[in-house]
């Protein structure tokens, strides 16, 4: 009896892995600009007198940016959707 339980359970796992599961497409999904390291970007409501930020790195929806006047080791973490390429 116990062996049948294991077999049926493992069979269910195999069957669930074989089927393709479709995920509904989001109509309101935004296409994100590619912001490679070293490029410059502005915030969505950035004042005109503030220079663009330099992108250090983007990963997982978050970007590290800095102002050139801040120095090499000072940076700010911003949501990717708040930035647009300059």
Quote the number of domains for the chain: 1
In a domain, 40, yes or no: yes
Mean pLDDT, to the nearest integer, of 55-79?
Answer: 90
pLDDT above 90: residue 70? no
For residue 85, what pLDDT band results from cuts at 50, 70 and 90?
Answer: confident
Residue range 21-38, pLDDT digits in tens:
666 655 444 445 578 999
In a domain, 70, yes or no: yes
In a domain, 38, yes or no: yes
pLDDT on residue 11: 57
In a domain, 3, yes or no: no
In a domain, 50, yes or no: yes
Nearest C-alpha neighbor of 85 from the set 63, 68, 60: 63
What are the distances in angstroms from CA 63 to CA 32, 52, 54, 76?
12, 14, 10, 8
The reported pTM is 0.59
35/3 Cα distance (integer angstroms): 54
pLDDT above 70: residue 63? yes
In a domain, 56, yes or no: yes
In a domain, 2, yes or no: no
Structural domain including 55 reads 26-85
């Amino acid at each position: 009896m116990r062996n049948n339980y294991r077999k049926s359970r493992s069979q269910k796992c195999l069957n669930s892995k074989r089927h393709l599961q479709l995920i509904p497409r989001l109509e309101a999904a935004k296409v994100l600009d590619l912001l490679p390291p070293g490029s410059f970007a502005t915030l969505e409501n950035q004042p005109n007198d503030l220079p663009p930020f330099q992108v250090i790195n983007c990963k997982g929806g978050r970007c590290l940016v800095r102002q050139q006047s801040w120095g090499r080791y000072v940076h700010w973490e911003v949501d990717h959707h708040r930035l647009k390429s300059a």
